[in-house]
Each structure stands twice: as C-alpha cells, then as structure tokens.
Amino acid sequence: MADEVKNLQERLIAVSRLTSDHNAVLRAVLEAERSYPDEHMVYVLKGWAYANLGDEGKAEAGFAKALLLNPKSAWAHYRRGEMLSALGKGAEALASFENAVKLKPNRPDFWLSKASVEDRLGMIPEAYASYMKATQLGDKTGRGWFGRARILAYMGRLDEALEAGRNALNLDRDNGEFKALEAYVLEKLSGY
C-alpha cells in the first residue's frame, strides 16, 4: 500500500508540473480521491488545485482535510501558506509557514516563503534570519541571497549587501531584479 500511495503522489505531482491547466490537475486529483479517500496528499493537492483556480473556500477545505488526516503534513501547511500569502493574508500565511518549517526544517523553499511574508510584514530581523537559513540550506534560486542583500542594503551594510547580491546573481545571472540591486548598491558605494 505504501508504494501505491507513493506512486499516486508522484503521478499527481507530475501532472501538476506538466500542465498549467489547473482543471486537468483537479480532475486527476478528484479521480485519485475516489480511490484514496484517506490519503492526505490527495487533499493537499486538491487544496493546491483549487487555490490555483481561485476558489479559496474549496482550497481551504482541502488543506483542512489533509491536516485532519495528517496534522504533521508540512506540505499541507506550506501550500496553505502559499494560498494565504497570495491572498494578502500575511499573518495567517506566516503561521502556516512557521508550521511547515517546524515539520520540515531542511527545505530552503519553505524558509524562503516564510522570509518573504516576514519581509512584507516588516519583520526585518526575522526575515533576514529566514533568508539566511534558506541560503545555509542551499537555496539554488538566489532568492535567499537577494533577500539578505536587500536587507543589508537597507541597513547600510553596503559591502555585505554587494557580496550577497553577487551571490544571488551567481545563481541566476539573468534575473533583472538581482541586477538592479547590484547596480543600486554599486551606485551607493560610489557615493552618488
């Protein structure tokens, strides 16, 4: 049974990655729900699909069912946090991301999402610590370094900001936001 559920999860995740048609993802999830009504990941993906379709109520119901079946589902907390963050519900999103990082503390993407919400809420020291954790865990997107660089620039620690910004650029050379931050810090360092 465990292998069957793992295969189901992999299939549903593959469907979600292969198409931007959220209705197709939802159809696959609803089909899986009939066969696996007690599998929490089905409901995580159901909530995620409904969130992508803009149906907050059904998304929340999916995440709630996932957490009822498995209160220690980091993915349910994380996906719920993503939805809440997109809806501008920062405090609620942060609570979900905090639960996710407690349950899976080695996921840089979880820390980045937490940092992003903390940043938007003006929780600068907390955001910096979360960005730092993401980079320590090997974030490959550059977003952790970029977040650190932005905060360091804000604090006037320009040499450190430049180094962090360049670390971000090393991970994503084509990112215009990263390039703009580097240019800004260089301009500040030159005295202009």
| Tokens, residue 104 | 């899976």
Q: What is the rounded CA–CA span in Å between residue 55 and residue 174?
A: 34
Stronger pLDDT, 34 or 95, i.e. the higher one: 95
Mean pLDDT of 2-29: 74
With 0-12 CB in 10 A as exposed, 13-18 as middle and 19+ as buried, what is 123?
middle
Tens digit of each residue's pLDDT (9 = 90 or more) over 81-106: 999 999 999 999 999 999 999 999 99
pLDDT at residue 13 above 80? Answer: no
The full 3-state SS of the chain, as one line of letters, equals: CHHHHHHHHHHHHHHHHHCCCHHHHHHHHHHHHHHCCCCHHHHHHHHHHHHHCCCHHHHHHHHHHHHHHCCCCHHHHHHHHHHHHHCCCHHHHHHHHHHHHHHCCCCHHHHHHHHHHHHHCCCHHHHHHHHHHHHHCCCCCCHHHHHHHHHHHHCCCHHHHHHHHHHHHHHCCCCHHHHHHHHHHHHHHCCC
Domains annotated on the chain, with CATH = 1-92 (1.25.40.10), 105-192 (1.25.40.10)
More confident: 41 or 99: 99
What's the confidence (pLDDT) of residue 107? 97
Residue that wins the pLDDT comparison between 152 and 29:
152
Would the pLDDT of 1 be above 60? no
Residue 14 has pLDDT above 90, yes or no: no
